[in-house]
Amino acid sequence: MAKFCANGHQMEDSWEICPYCQKTGFDAPPPGKTRIESDPVPAAPRGGMPSPGAGGGARRTVVIGEKPSGAVIGWFVAMNGNQMGEDFRVREGHNVLGSSPECEIVLDDGTVSAKHASLKHKDGKFVLTDLDSTNGTFVNDKTDSIAREEIKDNDTIRLGKLALKFKCL
Amino acid sequence: MEIRPGVDLANLTDVGCERENNEDYYCYAEPEDDELYSKRGRLAVIADGMGGYEGGQYASRIAVESVRAAYLKDPEQDPVDALLEGFRLAHVEILTKARENPGLEGMGTTCTAAAILGSKLIYAHVGDSRLYRIRGFEITQISHDHSYVNKLLEAGMITPEEAKVHPQRNVLMMALGSRGQVRADCPDEPIPLQPGDTLLLCTDGLSGLVNNEEMQKAVTGMPLTQACKELIDLAKSRGGYDNITVQLLRVASNDLKKTSAE
């Protein structure tokens, strides 16, 4: 009979400790952010073979999390690219900007990562955070990509090559 | 852990050929307590995390641990409801941890959980990891990918051939921890299993590079431990772009009456 650790991971007979579930301080948050220049959503193919659709009988779908729908407190306006002139609502709380359809602000631009940056409104301040984007997040004329920075009304931010003007209420 | 007779189990994970971290996580669990076992049977969970440098690993682990804990907690709760409760808890915990820790922002994970209860299968699923049932030469995909490409495919907007090379085939519509509405799939009714049926759970590191027929052939043609290795080696020989995880559970003929999900 094969050998399994307490989490049901199959082990070689010679292994004393399971390499997949050594105690790594799971309950404690991991240490601070290590920045890498890569896209937060894997760039390698996912689901390369299409799903053939429903198999294995009828299924039902259950909602386990709702879309946040806070009040509108500001806008971004695209200043260049495919969506030039288009406006994007910024809502109370947390807004993720990126090319992935699951972002609050979905941007159609080849230089924008799937989840590129986030804008959080807290205590009257708008804080922009880069989410390990491939091409960086910039504020106004600065040439260094930010990690996190407060932005104000009329600031222009740049995600990759896409420029967005910020307006707040 | 001791696994009760009645299933053959094998599982294996591999970082693949291009990644530094393995963001997949998985578990197999069955209650030690016989009474709880009679209500819960056996549980296998896999999750494929994503987001940032550390977030992906963290999210997949939260998902697997939450689902296992919720499933094994209250024997009186309906088993499918218990799985869904685990998904809900995982989703909330991932969102909360991401909010509290800037380094974890944007993390999320797929999660596919399957339980064998008597001669029935139940499952819950979010994302594009997969659950298959292999019966002889027939392989059936039970889970349904929550991917953008699958949505286009189901709407008839692209062909299966186009889907294989679609530039956005890496885009997920839903994951635990993702923004927007998150919905989990589960079966309307428990799915009957037959002696000899094999369940295959895998992350897209496998299903993106190895087709259904190849999975079926490996599973029916060799011992399960060897089949796991074979499938992972096959994905790696084709590039192994992503982490690869596979779990196989084969139902033996003498186990079907021992738990009571009928």
Q: What is the pLDDT of residues B80-111, one digit of tens each?
A: 999 999 999 999 899 888 877 878 888 999 99
- For residue A44, list chain B residues with Cβ-Cβ distance below 8 A: 18, 170, 241-242
B26 vs B54 pLDDT, higher one: B26
**Segment 64-103 of chain B within 8 Å of chain A by CB:** 65, 84, 87-88, 91-92, 95, 97, 99-103
What does the pLDDT read at residue A66? 65
What share of chain A in percent tops pLDDT 70?
Answer: 74
B197 CB near a chain A CB, below 8 Å?
no
pLDDT band at A102 (very low <50, low <70, confident <90, very high): low
Give the mean pLDDT of B141-162.
Answer: 90
Q: Which helix (H) or strand (E) holds B122?
A: strand B120-126
| Lowest-confidence segment of A4-18, A21-35, A42-56, A58-72 by average pLDDT | A21-35
* Contacts of B88 by beta carbon, 8 Å cutoff, 6+ apart: A64, A65
Q: What is the pTM of this model?
A: 0.72
Mean residue pLDDT across chain A: 78
What does the pLDDT read at residue B259? 52
* Contacts of B243 by beta carbon, 8 Å cutoff, 6+ apart: B13, B14, B15, B16, B19, B21, B22, B23, B24, B48, B203, B205
Q: What is the CA radius of gyration of chain A?
A: 21
Interface predicted TM-score of the whole assembly (ipTM), two decimals:
0.84
What does the pLDDT read at residue A69? 61
- For residue B85, list chain A residues with Cβ-Cβ distance below 8 A: none
